[in-house]
Structure 1
Amino acid sequence: MSDLTSAPRRRSRFGLYAVPVAVLIAAVLWSGFWFFAASQVGVQADAWRAQEAKAGRIYDCDKRSVAGYPFRLEIRCEQPSVMLVSQTASPQMSFVARLAEILVVAQIYDPKLVIAEFKGPATIAERNAQPTLQVDWRLGRASVVGLPAVPQRASLVFDDLAIDRTGGPAPTPLMRVNHIELHGRQVEGSAPDNPAIESVLQINGGTLQEVHPLLTQPFNADIHARLNGLKDFSPKPWPDRFREIQAAGGSVEIQQSRIEQGDVLSVAAGTLRLNAQGRIEGELQMTVAGLERVIPALGIDKMLEEGVPQSTLDRVAPGVKSQDLSNLFGALDRAIPGLGKVIKQNANAGISAGINSLGTEATLEGKKARSFPLRFADGAVFLGPLKVAQIPPLF
């Protein structure tokens, strides 16, 4: 009897191995791509450093490493430094900033988004000199979208930021901020050869020393602005950038500014420009609630206690000499102790009333307020007829 039963057909094992082999090949290709991208980090960093050096910003890194395999690129720079040359209105001045570490992270599948974390403390010093400033923070982070081409937007965030002056027996506090954010983005639709930049600055719990008495008490700020007059984003020293903006008729539009400090609240909007000498010109329309609390911080009472400057008398009382007025206050005190002080206080109250009568009545977030212009003329800041600050030239 013949055996008609056929032998069972052997199944192909190709399908069994196809998927693992494909995964292995993909892993090899992906690994090759990652290591190639990692090898280009140094090349791109050196090219960027060369561009920045032409603009007077010289970057260096004591030790650089790349990690993050398989889906990220983590570039770690230990003991980074930047030397700033010709970045101020005094070209002969140069500064060196150093910090502990920078970690830059980019996803392989989204390389246009770059996130950086900063580790403090940082020091700032004039070239070949001992550090004069120390900056520290609990959290420092930045992000940029759009690299390696022109950035589309960027952000910078710090928590518990502290800046101290060093070099003395003990560090002197200059700035404290609980939280600060700076955001910038290119306005959609703006021309490539004339880009406009929108920016937002937010400060929570900030104090500044050695700038103005108004800023020594904690304040919150939220400022929205637009910069016009840029020609390009090519690296160049800041004075050159400011000079270029001035020549192009550029401006900074303060679209919204809200500053809160205790019972004092102010909002402002307006446009500022640079004149040919690099000084700020323009006007902000302000509305302030609690203006009477600002008067002592502006130093008007101190001005009266220490003597009225002759320049002020020439403006408000021509022919009266400052020495004569000081002698009068002294004679009154000698005749009736305390009388001169009372007159000064009454005079200060009169000035307060005059300041409070500036502009027009207004209501700001349910509070009584005054609306008036804050003028900038050749870098000087005027509240009505009173000069309250002087801003140095930007180039």
Structure 2
Amino acid sequence: MGVPRMSDDAPASRPRSRFWLFAPFTIVGLVIVAWCVAWFVIKDRTVDGLDAWLAREAAAGRQWTCADRGIGGFPFRIELDCASVSLRQGALTAQAGALQAVAQIYRPRHVIARLNGPLQVTEGGLATQVRWRQLESSVRSSREGLQQLALIMDGGEMQVSGATPEPIRAAAERLEVYARPSPSQTDESVDVVARAAGAAVPALDAFLGTPEPANLELQARATHGLRLGGQSLPQEVERWREAGGALDVVLLKLAKGNGRFEARGRLGLDEERRVQGRLEGAAQGLEAVLRRFMGEGRAGLAAGLLGALAGRREPPRQAESGPGLQPLPPLRFENGRVLLGPLPIPGLRLPPLY
């Protein structure tokens, strides 16, 4: 019995499709192409947005210059590079070194920037120069505006020439500044935290009579926050003053050598643009300062008087003033003078800020 033969018209077996074999590579390729297209679109929008911002700044009287501007960072970042940056606004000129600003493509509203020094600012008869080892800032924004600002400087030194009666100098091993809109305020208030570690301020050394570096901290809320939208910084500060702007000091701390000082209160500017206001404080190591200004004989009397005046008020809780700190009479800033209780601090006068 023979084996049956297949009919000649039987369907032939079809070859297996290889679509699913190559599909993953095709999808990856399409994703890469789409990512590249998206990056160049975002880059073009960044350039257009930057040019529009420069045009608005120029219309407001501020001429910014980014030397040898470059936009890069492909494929995951948008990176702006300037060989140097400068600003001209009326009589004010400012110039600094190279700038690099970076934003991840998936977080374009979070910009991290690094700036090389020195920064040189001139206006009128004042010339300010700031140097640092490293300066970095972080800015988070949204459609509503600025959400958070952080600035960190290491090894900073500042000198202001042309100031009277002598140049102003200051330095700090580390400076940190943080700012954000107050979450529960509706008057454009801004919360600010600033810290300086290893600060050297010759004027403060001369006043306190001790050369040790200082550590400072400020926690405050600026009401009617500055917008920096006018023709100059003094004009914006004046607008802020006329609007009733004030600095609510949540905590001011100073530690220098064996002395410490903490205070809370409110500060502002008077009609002559001088600091005015009142701080409630506590201190440790005040005796050395009193001896310096009043001599050994009267220092004890002044310390006793201040202690009696401070004793009339309810002593601050330890959690507020810190352990070991003795309450002080109010520190008042009035008409260019600084008074501790009823006693003016000798030789200390407050000039107009602008």
* TM-score using structure 2 length: 0.83
Aligned pair partner of 2:181 in 173, 181, 186: 186
Shift of 1:296: 5.5
* Residue equivalent to 2:326: 369
Instruction: State the alpha-carbon separation in 1 of the partners of residues 108 and 41 from structure 2.
Output: 14
For the residues of structure 1 that align with 2:95 and 2:143, how far apart are their CA atoms? 25
Letter of the aligned partner of 1:2 in structure 2? R
SS of 1:235's equivalent in the other structure is coil
Which piece of structure 1 moves more, 108-117 or 134-143? 134-143
The change in CA–CA distance for 1:104 and 1:149 in structure 2 (over 3 A counts) is: farther
Task: List structure 1 segments (4+ residues) > 4 angstroms apart after TM superposition.
Answer: 164-167, 347-358, 361-364
In the aligned structure 1, how far is the partner of 2:87 from the partner of 2:228?
A: 18
Equivalent position of 1:119 in the other structure: 116
CA distance in 2, matches of 1:274, 1:165: 22
Range with greater deviation from structure 2 (355-364 or 71-80): 355-364
Give the structure 1 partner of residue 229 of structure 2.
Answer: 235
Q: Which has the higher contact order (CA 8 A, sep 6+)?
A: 1
Cα distance, 1:391–1:148 mapped onto 2, change above 3 Å:
farther
Structure 2 vs 1, CA of residues 210 and 371 (structure 1 numbering), >3 Å: closer, same or farther?
closer
CA deviations over 1:98-138 (Å, ceiling 9, x no partner): 222111010110111111011223333347x9x95432222
Which of 147, 151, 155 is the aligned partner of 1:156? 151
- Counting only pairs closer than 5 Å after superposition, residues 78-157 of structure 1 correspond to structure 2 as 78-85=83-90, 94-126=91-123, 132-147=127-142, 149-157=144-152
Distance 2:218 2:228 in 1: 26
Q: Quick one: distance in 2 between partners of 1:133 and 1:67?
A: 33
The corresponding residue for 1:199 is: 192
Q: What are structure 2's unaligned runs of at least 5 residues?
A: none
Residue 391, structure 1, aligned to residue 350, structure 2: yes
| Corresponding residue SS for 1:25 | helix
Alignment gaps of 5+ in structure 1: 86-93, 302-343
- Superposed displacement of residue 34, structure 1: 1.0
Other-structure match for 1:9: 14
RMSD: 2.9
More divergent stretch after superposition (19-28 vs 200-209): 19-28
Show the counterpart of 1:346. 297
Residue deviations 1:321-374 (CA, integer Å, cap 9, x gap): xxxxxxxxxxxxxxxxxxxxxxx6534554455455542377754325232101
Is the contact made by 2:337 and 2:344 (CA closer than 8 Å) also made in structure 1? no
Deviations 1:3-48 (A, max 9, x none): 2686433111222222222222221121122112222333222222
Deviation at 1:96, TM superposition (A): 2.2
Give 1:47's aligned residue.
52
Q: The residue matched to 2:235 in structure 1 has which SS?
A: helix
Q: Which AA in structure 2 matches 1:61?
A: C
* CA–CA separation in structure 1 for the residues paired with 2:299 and 2:228: 52
Aligned equivalents of 2:275, 2:257: Cα separation in 1: 29
Tell me if 1:263 matches 2:268.
no
The CA deviation at 1:221 is 1.1
Aligned counterparts of 1:113 and 1:350: Cα–Cα separation in 2: 57
**Aligned position for 1:90:** none
Q: Which residue does 1:289 correspond to in 2? A: 284
3-state secondary structure, aligned to 1:257? strand
Which among 241, 249, 258 is matched to residue 246 of structure 1? 241
Q: How many residues align?
A: 334
Q: Percent identity?
A: 27
The 3 A distance-change label for structure 1 pair 43 and 211 is farther
Contact 2:112 2:136 survives alignment (8 Å): yes
Change (3 A) 1:36 1:19: same
Q: Distance in 2 between matches of 1:375 and 1:359?
A: 14
Q: Does 1:275 align with 2:226?
A: no
- CA 1:209–1:122: 2 relative to 1, 3 Å: same
Q: Does the 8 Å CA contact 1:150/1:233 hold for their aligned counterparts?
A: no
Distance 2:60 2:352 in 1: 20
Aligned partners of 1:379 and 1:392 also within 8 Å = yes
Distance between the aligned counterparts of 1:137 and 1:206, measured in 2? Answer: 13
Structure 1's 54 and 386: CA in aligned 2 closer, same or farther, altered over 3 A?
Answer: farther
Bigger mean CA offset, 206-215 vs 108-117? 206-215
Asked if structure 1 preserves the Cα contact closer than 8 Å seen for 2:291 and 2:299, the reply is no
User: Residue 76 of structure 1 contacts residue 104 of structure 1 at CA under 8 Å; is this kept in 2?
Assistant: yes
- Structure-1 separation of matches of 2:234 and 2:325: 42
**In the alignment, which residue of structure 2 is the partner of 1:33?**
38
Q: Secondary structure at the match of 1:250?
A: coil
Secondary structure at the aligned position of 1:19 is classed as helix
